[in-house]
Structure 1
Amino acid sequence: MIIRKGNIDDLAGLRRLFADTIINVCRSDYNDEQITVWSSATENIKRWESVLEEQFVLISEEQDQITGFCTLDKGNYIDLLFVHKDYLRQGTAEKLYTAVEQEAIRLNQAALTSDVSKTAKSFFEKMGFIVLKEQTVYVKDIEFINYKMRKTLS
């Protein structure tokens, strides 16, 4: 596995991985309507372009296939962390997260925060995050439960 910085040429691959992961991995935590609405976020091309242009984006690859990605916004907010369904529980998320945390430390950040799905909550807890609060968010008028989480950096 290699980890590299993302660039605009990764746009299609990141969008595809995002939707595929939601559709295939998050089904046990969210219903069909929620999955459809959440995965449709790939349609907002401007949002994805701004992620790649404005955030610190790391991508994991094996044999020229994107296996995961993690983004750091404003040096202290993990905006996106997704791993291909065939690469779960193989250390991909942990390697991506650790590299992003190192970037936050390099930037002298005191803490990391994220709004975390039900599916990802246990991973973030394993990485040392604590739940600040459970929250209800709405995407296209569809209700989702997720968690505002935080980790103090040393």
Structure 2
Amino acid sequence: MDVRIRPLVRDDSAAVGRIFFLAVHEGTRTAYTAAERLAWAGETIDLASWATRVAQLQGRVAELNGEPVGVMTIDARGYIDLAFVLPSCAGRGIGARLLRACAARAADLGATALSAHASLVARPFFEAQGWHVEAQEIVERRGVPLRRFRMTGPLPTDR
């Protein structure tokens, strides 16, 4: 498996939108209802919205044989906003590699810990990386309540 981790760039917006859309609609089927997935990710990929959003984020993209298959974003406080891998590539360690790369970037920016709002599907991934739940939350998207978890994790020391 030839996975490469590289910085997120503006031109990644369509790929990020696709990864997010498929990860939500296909990858969370066992945890969220169709109505919840639709409220979360919409009916289609809004390319203009993703172009605007990606332009404001920094993070890392995982490529498999030159194609984007995962994305994770990080800010200077260590907050992970997006953390998604294509369902067809899940379980291959891509998320863990993205997390290590983003944690290193956060440490370079001065962060002392990591945090995220994790879905029902992402929670076990983060827990396997040594994170813990701070609180369960209910957020509303398009009038539909969605359960998620506020989680925190350490910055890896093996950088």
Q: 2:12 aligns with which of 10, 13, 27?
A: 10
Once the 2 structures are TM-superposed, how far is the Cα of residue 45 of structure 1 from its aligned partner? 3.0
Q: 1:110 aligns with which of 106, 109, 112?
A: 112
Q: Deviations over 1:84-111 (max 9, x none)?
A: 1111111100000110011111222111
> Which residue does 1:39 correspond to in 2?
41
Q: Deviations over 1:51-106 (max 9, x none)?
A: 42232221111222111010013441100010011111111000001100111112
Structure (1 or 2) with the greater strand fraction: 1
Contact preservation (8 Å) 1:37, 1:139 = yes
May I ask how many residue pairs the two structures share in their alignment?
153
> Which residue does 1:84 correspond to in 2?
86
Cα distance in structure 2, aligned partners of 1:115 and 1:27: 19
Q: SS of the residue aligned with 1:25?
A: coil
Q: Which amino acid aligns with 1:23?
A: H
Unaligned runs of 5+ in 2: none
Once the 2 structures are TM-superposed, how far is the Cα of residue 44 of structure 1 from its aligned partner? 7.2
Identity across matched positions, percent: 25
Q: SS of the residue aligned with 2:74?
A: strand
Question: What RMSD over aligned residues (CA atoms) do the two structures have, in Å?
Answer: 1.7
Query: Could you state the TM-score of these two structures normalised by the residue count of structure 2?
Result: 0.89
Q: Deviations over 1:100-151 (max 9, x none)?
A: 0111112221111100000000000111111000001000110000000011
Unaligned runs of 5+ in 1: none
Q: SS of the residue aligned with 1:35?
A: helix
Cα distance in structure 2, aligned partners of 1:64 and 1:35: 28
> Which residue does 2:150 correspond to in 1?
148
Q: Which amino acid aligns with 2:84?
A: F
User: Runs of 4 or more off by more than 3 Å in structure 1?
Assistant: none
> Which residue does 1:97 correspond to in 2?
99
> Which residue does 2:125 correspond to in 1?
123
Contact preservation (8 Å) 1:76, 1:113 = yes
Cα distance in structure 1, aligned partners of 2:23 and 2:108: 30
